[in-house]
Structures are given as structure tokens and as C-alpha cells.
Amino acid sequence: MSTHTEVRTARVELWPGGRSSRLVLAAGLVTPRVVRHDASGAEVALLATTATLLGGDTLRLAVEVGPGMRLDLRDVAGTVAYHGRGLGCVVDASLRVHEGATLAWAGEPLVVADGSAVTRHLRADVDEGGRLLLRDRVALGRSGQDGGRLDCHTALRHAGRPALVEHLEVRAGLGPGALGTARVVDTLTALGWRPDTVAGHAAYRLHEPGSVVRELLDEAHTSGLPTVWAAWHAELPGQPGQPPI
């Protein structure tokens, strides 16, 4: 049974505010912590302050970046969905990037352990002139495990138009043929511009301005996407903190 009875939305909002920017933070199953905050932007780390994800849990995160602002968001560690004892759990993330704003989020892996059942919703709305750089990693099982069940729904929009709509459902031994023997799906998405191609990494061009690079892996640490992240991250406007890898 879940130990969390109240569903609270963790929130990170960054808004222009005259001589300084205004940062709004609220805690849920993850707690935002300020790493850097100045007039033009901020860097915020997401920290789990309790055991999560347990059966019955709902982790909600809402991120909004106001016009002209830049937010660099990072996870302190990966999220593990533990054995649910017959109960599923939900991860629900909503991202909003306003005109001229930038959001860069290099998420750590969502690990679906044996006995867990996870439904994940990821939504993003990027206004004209905004930019989103997102690294999204999911993994079946902890070390030595086959993993549980994962149902991912992704919907990304640019200037009000659909840019990427995807439904990915995998479970131990029953993943789609394209997954093969891989346990890790590592995806890097740029939305709002088309970044330069990085040698050795095929990028899929979206109908809206944007590109996607994806790797299917047996082990997360073998991914080549940190190289692509560093190259695309360097194309973002503003003054970032140290890019996570």
C-alpha cells in the first residue's frame, strides 16, 4: 500500500520581474532546490525527499518558464518505481515554455522495477520563439531484474500544433519488436529549433521545428547521447550553468 495519501503537485515557475526574475517553487513527491538564480534565469534541482514511487503513488510535476527566461532543470537521481503489491503508480509531468523562453531538462532514468506498473504522461507546450531541450530515459528493471510494466504517453506541441505524439508500452518479455533485447530507451528531443547534426547520431526531424535522437540500450551508461546533449545544449540562448550529463 502507498504511504502517500495526498497528491501534491511539485511546481517550478520562472517569471520576469523587472530587475530580477521571480522563481516560484512548490514541493510534492519531489522537492525543487535552487542551484542558481539571477535576473535572466535559474537552475533548479529536483530531489526526492521520501521513498517513491510506491504502489498507488501519483507524482505530479508542473514546470512553466515565462517570456524571455531560461530554466535549467536537473534531477538529483533517477526515480525507481518499486514493487506495487498489485497497485500501479502514475508519473505526470507538464511543461510550458513561453515566447522567447528556454527550458533544458536532462532527466535521470525512470526505472521500472519488478512488480511495478507505471503509467507516465509527459506533456509540453512550447510557444513560438521558445526552445525546449529534453532528455528522457526509461529503464526496465534494476540490476538483475526483468522489470515491470511501463505505459508512456508523450504529447509535445509547438505554437499550438502537435509536434510529437507517442504511446510506448513495454513490459518484461513483451516489449515491441523494435525494442529487441534492450532494457533502456534513451531519448533526446529538441523543440523550437532544429539543432545541428552530431556525427554518428541520426536525428529524426519533426514536422514542427525540432529533432529527436533515440538509442535502445542494454545498459544506461553505454549511451552516446551525452555527446549530443552537450552539442545541442551549447546552441541554447542565455547563460547556462554547467550542463548535466
**Per-residue pLDDT, 34:** 97
Rounded CA Rg of the chain: 17
Q: For residue 10, give the amino acid letter.
A: A
- Residue 68 within any structural domain of the chain: yes
Residue 229 is given by DSSP the state H
pTM value is 0.91
- Residue 24 within any structural domain of the chain: yes
Reply yes or no: is the peptide bond before residue 188 cis, omega within 30 of 0. no
Residue range 167-195: average pLDDT? 79
Q: Supply 137's cell numbers.
A: 530515459
Is a pLDDT exceeding 90 seen at residue 217? no
78 or 121: which carries more pLDDT confidence?
121
- Residue 1 within any structural domain of the chain: no
Is a pLDDT exceeding 60 seen at residue 193? yes
222 or 66: which carries more pLDDT confidence?
66
Distance CA 120, CA 243 (A): 25
Distance CA 92, CA 117 (A): 14
Picking from 120, 186, 125, 185, the residue whose alpha carbon sits closest to that of residue 156 is 125
Residue range 67-83: average pLDDT? 93
Number of domains forming the structure of the chain: 1
Distance CA 37, CA 53 (A): 29
Is a pLDDT exceeding 50 seen at residue 110? yes
- The bridge status of strand 110-112 relative to strand 70-75 is unpaired
**Per-residue pLDDT, 18:** 74
Is a pLDDT exceeding 50 seen at residue 244? no
**Per-residue pLDDT, 180:** 62
- Residue 239 within any structural domain of the chain: no
Distance CA 84, CA 206 (A): 36
**Tens digit of pLDDT for each residue in 149-177?**
999 999 999 999 999 999 988 876 654 44
Is a pLDDT exceeding 70 seen at residue 112? yes
- Residue 238 within any structural domain of the chain: no
- Residue 3 within any structural domain of the chain: no
- Residue 242 within any structural domain of the chain: no
Residue span of the structural domain in which 132 resides: 9-233
DSSP letter string, 176-197? -GGGTT--EEEEEEEESS-PPP
**Alpha-carbon dihedral 192, 197, 203, 206, rounded to 10 degrees:** 30
